[in-house]
A and B are shown apart, each in its own frame.
Chain A
Amino acid sequence: MSHLVGLLAFLLLAPPPPPQRGGQLHLAVQAEPRSADPHVAADEPSELLAYLTHGVLVRINRLTQLPEPELAQSWKTSPDGKSIAFIIRPAARFSDGAPVTSADVCYSLARILEPKLDSPNGDSLRGAAGAVRCAPEKARVTIAFDKPLASAERWFDGIAILPASGKEKTGAGPFHIKEWQPGAFITLQRNPHYWQRDAAGAALPYLDAVRLDVQRNRDLELMRFEKGELHLVNNLDPDSYNRLRAKGASSAISLGASLDSEQMWFNQSPAAPIPDSKKGWFRTTSFRQAVSLAIRREDLARVVYHGHATPAAGPISPANRLWVNTSLKAPTANPQQALALLRREGFTFSAGVLKDPHGRPVEFSIITNAGNKSRERMAAMIQQDLAAIGIQLRVAPLDFPSLIERITKTFDYDSCLLGLVGSDLDPNGAMNVWLSSAANHQWNPNQKSPATPWEAEIDKLMQTQALAMDPAIRKRAFDRVQAIVAEQAPFIYLIHRNSMVGVSPRLRGVQPALLRPQLLWNVPRLYLQN
């Protein structure tokens, strides 16, 4: 008996085994990162690559949502919110061993603010803060803004610090790029100069390498995960999650409603090479509202996501309790009301065909990323819902790079069905979407001046919330933004899907979070157990 008690005491009191060093973490990305330049990363694979290979001054802890020191060991914001001073961590090094300096910070800041670079974060910061001045002095760097900036430190989670020497492929993140085989894989190697250490003082990261396979087919990704070839899988679709759960796999984890949204939008860009008649429909608020009203969101959540999703009322998921406008409700499908709205604009509906005031049948296409089964199914369901009000929708799945090319450069598309990932709970994180001048203002990006009065109002409200120091003023302003978006329907929000992930039992140290990168946010502390 005494032996048993002793053994129990040993097991309970003995320290856990130390994390194992070495090994290669293996995961898949659904598309090739469009760029290794962290300042122009706008797609998810590029953002992940930037996260793994570059350092920032302040990192938002994905679990607590609080800013934590990263390359800056401390910071101080002025009472008027017009400046912030960082002290650079002495141990901060780039992957080539060079120290991170205040000059590097100013260089990086100047680079993202350069309009020619078209950096999403730069656009947002410029829009919110006006002119930005950076003053380097030894280990201290002071950044001043024209306008006061609420939660100024949070902006720096998205600004990777690059060496002022302009050396390519050099970052201050936990890993650096070792090999990039286009279309196949990217291998990242441990940064031996990474600053972070664990509680025992051992250098991080524990892993020697990370390999990102470009694997467009999610079925194959899941098969490889089940075989143990991949150590984690993000954003499990509902079929895959159910399959893993049915097999009794404890590796499938549901984190509840995610911060992401699935939405469709119409191309309202004046530069779009599409017929004027279509541009006219897409710019008509009632047309967009009618399309929104014709879509059965509860069916999308039930049929496509097997209930692992919530019909969306607006851009903010109910998971973001602090900022969601709770007065907004997801529209209930009402084809009759949709037709009434269209008739008011001169559209006619007869023999199952909707015609515009000039007698043209209403037909348009919707692009989405091929291989994403959930989106392809949603598009097919929207096709049937819109057929009920006489609209012929053509579904065109495209490979991801072609899709991004169309929505960001050529603007050669009618409408698009895509998701927006919630990278930050704070509305400032979405400045690059809501400001009319921003590159990610997808329905009509890079406007010189707001095209509509309601976009002008959104610009103003976003500025107000970004500048206000009072949380109540910020909340009121952002609530109004959500209400305008719900009313004007530039994005037709469909659902907020649940966040579901798969983690290999070998992978330790994982702390799944709703914010991206959900399973990799603490990558320096992840390790593989043999």
Chain B
Amino acid sequence: MKVAAAVLLLLLSLAALSASWIAPDGGQMQFRDHINEPPSSQFPLGTDPLGRDRFARLLSGARISLLLAPAAALLAVLLGAVIGIAAGLRSGWLAHLLSAACDLTLALPWFFLLLTLRALIPIDVAPPVSLLVTFALLGLLGWAGPARVVQAGVHLTLRAPHILALRARGAAPLRVLTRHLLPELAPLLAGQFLALAPVFLLAEANLGLLGLGVSEPMASWGNLLKELESVAVAGPAALLHSWWLLAPLAGLLLSTGSLFILAPREVTP
């Protein structure tokens, strides 16, 4: 199962990376004499209401969603690791402060916070900047979960017999951290990364549906899903006649499903 998920994810990533060759314009070119066309040899997934190639937009969207969601997850995990390790290693006011910040962040309705922060971005920023800011916000807001897990992991690891022995022999704290603690925490961090990446993929899709994600004319799976809105309103029959509109949803389900399958069920340091 895990092999199949890894292969699928690899294929999706390769397809995303090939977007630059298959659709150098990022699916932004409007073929105004070919609006709302069904799939054909020229347009494998048809065209949208502006005559843009849906297949090209799907690939360009995949590149954005599949590269930037993991990047945001990496940022969140790195931040969480630094804060979690600091809170785990230290005792006293710093540990309390970091722990309280963590609790507060976890208690916040982060999606609304994300919406508010996203809406504060000036309206005239270039689409690539808004894209980076969106994913950076996701990364910056997602640190609390990993930090809490890492802090618990640090506490557990520090109580392990071999670490206690090392500390009793007077090993330097930096050596304990880099040689022993971080390798012990690595599977935990990898697990956090694999758990967060699909969450961020879905968060971008949610933002896209609300019109606050990646801005036009760039494509992302989030803003491509927006097209489903009007078809869904027309009823299930319309959806059956326009099955190709489900492609971004399929991409999203396959990639998030694969990431969840790859994430370890239980990670103990």
Kindly identify, within residues 346 to 403 of chain A, every residue whose CB is under 8 Å from any CB belonging to chain B: 363-365, 367, 370-371, 373, 376-377, 379-381, 383-384, 392, 394-398
B211 adjacent to A303 (CB under 8 Å): no
Q: Which of B51, B211, B233 has a CB less than 8 Å from the CB of A370?
A: B211
Q: A396 near B124 (CB under 8 angstroms)?
A: yes
Contact partner of A413 (CB less than 8 A), chosen from B30, B123, B229, B233, is B123
- Once bound together, how far apart are the Cα atoms of A222 and B32, in whole Å? 26
A377 and B126 CA atoms in complex are apart in Å by 18
Instruction: Tell me if A1 is interfacial: C-beta within 8 Å of chain B.
Output: no
Q: Is the interface of A mostly helix, strand, loop or mixed?
A: helix
A68 contacts the other chain (CB 8 A): no
Chain A residues lying within 8 Å of B263, measured Cβ to Cβ, are none
Residues from chain A with a CB closer than 8 A to the CB of B230 are: 219, 239, 373
B30 touches A384 (CB 8 A): yes
Residues on A with C-beta less than 8 A from B49 are 239, 303-304, 377
A213 adjacent to chain B (CB < 8 Å): no
Known: A219-B229, A219-B230, A396-B215. A367 touches B50 (CB 8 A): no
Residues of B near A395 (CB, < 8 A) are: 215-217
Interface hub of A363, A364, A394 (most chain B Cβ within 10 A): A394
Q: A394 contacts which of B30, B50, B124, B229 (Cβ < 8 Å)?
A: B124
Interface residues of A in 142-199 (CB under 8 A from B): none
A278 CB, min distance to chain B CBs, angstroms:
10
CA of A327 to CA of B233, assembled, Å: 44
A303 touching B50, Cβ below 8 Å: yes
Whether A104 is near chain B, meaning CB under 8 Å from some CB there, is no
B87-128 to A contact mask, C-beta < 8 Å, 1/0: 000000000000000000000000000000000000111110
Is B168 interfacial (CB 8 A cutoff)?
no
**In the complex, residue of chain B having the shortest beta-carbon distance to the beta carbon of A365:** B124
CA distance A370 to B210 in the complex (A): 10
Q: How far is the CA of A222 from the CA of B28 in the complex (A)?
A: 29
In the complex, A364→B122 CA distance in Å? 12
A299 touches B229 (CB 8 A): no
Inter-chain contact B123/A398, CB cutoff 8 Å:
yes
State whether A394 touches B35 (Cβ < 8 A).
no
Which residues of A are found within 8 Å of B211, using beta-carbon distances? 370-371, 397
| A397 contacts across to B, CB distance below 8 A | 211
Q: Does A303 lie within 8 Å of B233, measured CB to CB?
A: no
Q: Mark B222-262, 1 if CB is under 8 A from A, else 0.
A: 00000001100110000000000000000000000000000
A220 within 8 A of B: yes
Known contacts A303-B51, A384-B30, A397-B211: does B123 contact A223 (CB below 8 Å)? no
How far is B239's CA from A118's CA once the two chains are assembled, in angstroms? Answer: 49
Q: Which residues of B contact A239 (CB under 8 A)?
A: 49, 230
A147 to B123: give the CA distance in the assembly, Å: 45
Q: Which residues of B contact A363 (CB under 8 A)?
A: 126
B195 to chain A, nearest CB (A): 32
**CB nearest neighbor in A for B49:** A377
> If the complex has contacts A303-B32, A303-B50, are A376 and B123 also in contact, measured as CB distance less than 8 A?
no
Assembled-state Cα–Cα distance A174/B50 (Å): 44
Closest Cβ of chain A to B265, distance in Å, is 40
A-facing mask of B174-217, CB < 8 A → 1, else 0? 00000000000000000000000000000000000001000111
Chain B CB within 8 A of A47 CB: no
Q: Report how far A363 CA is from B126 CA in the complex, Å.
A: 9
Given contacts A303-B35, A395-B216, contact A223 B233 (CB under 8 A): yes
**Which of A219, A220, A370, A380 meets B217, CB within 8 Å?**
A380
What residues of A have a CB within 8 angstroms of the CB of B51 in the complex? 303
A414 an interface residue at 8 Å Cβ cutoff? yes
Bound complex: CA of A395 vs CA of B50, how far in Å?
15
Bits for B121-145, please: 1 = Cβ < 8 Å to A, else 0.
0011111000000000000000000
B32, B35, B229, B233 interface centre (most CB from chain A within 10 Å): B233
Contact residues of B between 14 and 65, Cβ < 8 Å to A: 28-30, 32, 35, 49-51
Contacts of B229 in A (CB 8 A): 217, 219
The distance from the CB of A354 to the nearest CB of chain B, in whole angstroms, is: 16
Report the Cα distance A220→B234, complex, angstroms.
10
Q: How far is the CA of A302 from the CA of B36 in the complex (A)?
A: 13
The reply to whether A383 and B217 contact each other, CB–CB distance below 8 Å, is: yes
Q: Determine how close the nearest CB of chain A comes to the CB of B221; give it in whole angstroms.
A: 18
Q: Which residues of A contact B123 (CB under 8 A)?
A: 365, 367, 394, 396, 398, 413
Q: Which of B35, B51, B123 has the most CB of A within 10 A?
A: B123
- In-complex Cβ contact of A299 among B32, B126, B127, B233 (8 A): B32
Q: How far is the CA of A247 from the CA of B127 in the complex (A)?
A: 38
Q: How does the 8 Å CB contact mask read for A415-453 relative to B, with 1 for contact and 0 for none? A: 000000000000000000000000000000000000000
Q: Among the listed A243, A380, A413, which residue makes an inter-chain contact with B50, where contact means beta carbons less than 8 Å apart?
A: A380
Alpha-carbon separation in the docked complex, A380 to B52 (Å) = 11
- In the assembly, what is the distance between CA of A383 and CA of B25, in Å? 14
Nearest neighbor of A397 in chain B, beta-carbon distance: B211
Residues in A whose Cβ lies below 8 Å from that of B28:
384
Complex: how many Å from CA A372 to CA B255?
31
CB of B147, distance to nearest CB on chain A (Å): 34
Least CB separation from A395: chain B residue = B216
Bound state CA distance, A310 and B144, in angstroms? 55
A295-316: contact bitstring with B at CB < 8 Å (1 yes, 0 no)?
A: 0000100111000000000000
A52 to B229, CA, bound (A): 32
Quick check: A243 and B126 within 8 Å, CB to CB? Answer: no
Report Cα–Cα, A363/B127, bound state, in Å.
Answer: 12
A380 and B216 contact, CB distance less than 8 A = yes
The answer to whether B233 and A219 have CB atoms under 8 Å apart is yes
Chain A 210-226 residues near chain B, CB threshold 8 A: 217, 219-220, 222-223
- The CA of A303 and the CA of B51, in the complex, are separated in Å by 9
Chain A residues contacting B124 (CB-CB under 8 Å) are 364-365, 394, 396, 414
A502 to B217, CA, bound (A): 32
When distances are taken between beta carbons in the complex, the residues of chain A under 8 Å from B35 are 303
| A27 to B229 Cα, complex, angstroms | 21
Chain B residues near A364 (CB, 8 Å)? Answer: 124
Chain B nearest CB from A155 CB (Å) reads 37
B217 / chain A contacts, CB cutoff of 8 Å: 380, 383-384, 395
Q: A383 vs B50: C-alpha distance in the bound complex, in angstroms?
A: 12
- Chain B residues whose C-beta falls within 8 Å of the C-beta of A371 in the assembled complex: 211
CB distance from A413 to the nearest CB of B (A): 7
Q: Give CA–CA (A367, B230) in the complex, Å.
A: 23
A381 and B50 form a contact (CB under 8 A): yes
Question: Ordered nearest first, which 5 A-B pairs have the shortest CB separation?
Answer: A396-B123, A365-B124, A219-B233, A223-B233, A219-B230
Subset of 24 A-B contacts with CB under 8 Å: A219-B230, A219-B233, A220-B233, A239-B49, A299-B32, A303-B30, A303-B51, A365-B123, A367-B123, A370-B211, A371-B211, A380-B216, A381-B30, A381-B50, A383-B216, A384-B28, A392-B126, A394-B126, A394-B127, A394-B215, A395-B215, A395-B216, A396-B123, A396-B124
Interface residues of chain B, those whose CB is within 8 Å of chain A, are: 28-30, 32, 35, 49-51, 123-127, 211, 215-217, 229-230, 233-234
Further 4 A-B residue pairs, CB within 8 A, beyond A243-B234, A384-B29: A303-B49, A371-B211, A381-B50, A413-B123
